[in-house]
Amino acid sequence: MRQIIILVSVFAAFIAGPSWADQKTESAILAAIEHDLPKALATLEQSVNINSGTMNFSGVRAVGDVFGAELAALGFQTQWVDGAGFNRAGHLVATSGTRGPKFLMIGHLDTVFAKGDDFQKFEPLGDDKIKGPGITDMKGGDVIIIAAIRALKNTGVLDNVSIKVVMTGDEESSGRPLSRSKKALVDAAIWADIALGFEDGDGNIKTAVVARRGSVGWALDVTGKASHSSQIFSDRVGYGAVLEAARILNAFRETLEPMENLTFNPGRIFGGTRISEDKTTSTGTAFGKTNVVAQTLHVAGGIRAVSPEQLAMAKAKMQAIAADNLAHTSAVLTFDDGYPPMAPASGNYDLLKRYSDISESLGLGAVKAVNPRNAGAADISFTAGHVDAALDGLGLMGPGGHTKNETADMTSLKSNIQKAALLIYRLSQEE
């Protein structure tokens, strides 16, 4: 009943339009954002200059301390969730409010740039561009979260909502088991009504994310009958591991390729008479002779689907293909835990409509949904199934993510702080 009431009270107003809005308060929110932009920029520079590659635990914690101190100064209760149980630094969780709609605001502290990387510093380039490790993915998004909250606090409206901020320390390389490493996110989502993610989406301020494809690993282990190669195809020897693997992979391609927004990729393969794999380094070795039928083969890959139903369908089709073996061969297909899909739910589109209306009212133009093929997996995917609506891609925009050319378009900093703050404020008024 509670969820039904929330859906009716919050999302019915998406149709009603913005005539209810308290323009005086909104003007005050925008003025507060403008006033505090230098502080947001200083925090961004400070955090970018701290290396926080996922496995640099002290660096991840240091960035968490920077953001945690700012949230504590805004009245949030902050907690560091230790990551020892999943071999990561941990997560920052901050909570404020006991009334109004419940918002989960999602960021992450880690980057893809290791402690020894030579890409380490915040570098202004001119023309409203700044380069730096993790500046868009996603320390800029973290700064937008804090700046939007600060504007709501400074205009006296923060008490009308309940907010839980979760900034994870392992988004770029998830700790295992996922049941532990993502527990803080899932628990927060179960508590929340609405999830807002501050990744940079596809780097385009004209888009936001209503759907993300999940990312799940799979492994195929194929066994054949070792024999002299002159006997291959015979009733006694059959086809060997390599040809059976080729059959399976090609059948995967033929079956899965027509499915919209679903992709599978065999990223690593080795086979022969004997093989070995080191999963920690994603490497493998194989021994085999051209005159010996291959006895064993291993494939490691990934699959991306746009909904849980699509993923389940793809898994079933793949298992059926892997089980229909050529003579004297067998195959075992297994799937790992991974990022679940963020399905394109109607509530997400309703939230995007309101966000786009705000963007247009600010003179920034409409915001459209990102094609799921252009948005990778992200932490919000673990939350989307537990909330009434979710929207991602609200962070600092710019090209070059995950490369040494990661560059922020700083014109998007103020714009996206404004949109996030006004979105939360308007939804609090509807409630």
Task: Delimit the domains of the chain by residue range.
Answer: 2-212+340-430, 214-335
Structure tokens at 89: 């630094």
Query: pLDDT at position 15, please?
Result: 43
In this structure, what is the dihedral angle of CA atoms 101, 143, 53, 202, given to the nearest 10 degrees? 80
Per-residue pLDDT of the chain (431 residues; tens, 9 = 90+): 444 444 444 444 444 445 444 899 999 999 999 999 999 999 999 999 999 999 999 999 999 999 999 999 999 999 999 999 999 999 999 999 999 999 999 999 999 999 999 999 999 999 999 999 999 999 999 999 999 999 999 999 999 999 999 999 999 999 999 999 999 999 999 999 999 999 999 999 999 999 999 999 999 999 999 999 999 999 999 999 999 999 999 999 999 999 999 999 999 999 999 999 998 889 999 999 999 999 999 999 999 999 999 999 999 999 999 999 999 999 999 999 899 999 999 999 999 999 999 999 999 999 999 999 888 789 999 999 999 999 999 999 999 999 999 999 999 999 999 999 999 999 999 85
Contact partners, residue 385, CB within 8 Å, separation at least 6:
189, 308, 340, 343
Burial tier of 429 (Cβ tally within 10 Å: 0-12, 13-18, 19+): middle
Query: Distance (Å, rounded) from C-alpha 350 to C-alpha 11?
Result: 7
CA-nearest of 339, 343, 361, 364 to 207 is: 364
pTM for this predicted structure:
0.89
Contact partners, residue 423, CB within 8 Å, separation at least 6:
196, 351, 354, 355, 358
Q: Does domain 2-212+340-430 have CATH number 3.40.630.10?
A: yes
Domains 2-212+340-430 and 214-335 share a fold: no
Query: Distance (Å, rounded) from C-alpha 346 to C-alpha 354?
Result: 13
CA-nearest of 366, 315, 320, 322 to 336 is: 315
Query: pLDDT at position 280, please?
Result: 82
Query: pLDDT at position 375, please?
Result: 80
Query: pLDDT at position 19, please?
Result: 45
Query: pLDDT at position 431, please?
Result: 59
Of the options 3.30.70.360, 3.40.50.1220, 3.30.420.40, 3.40.50.1820, the CATH number for the domain spanning 214-335 = 3.30.70.360
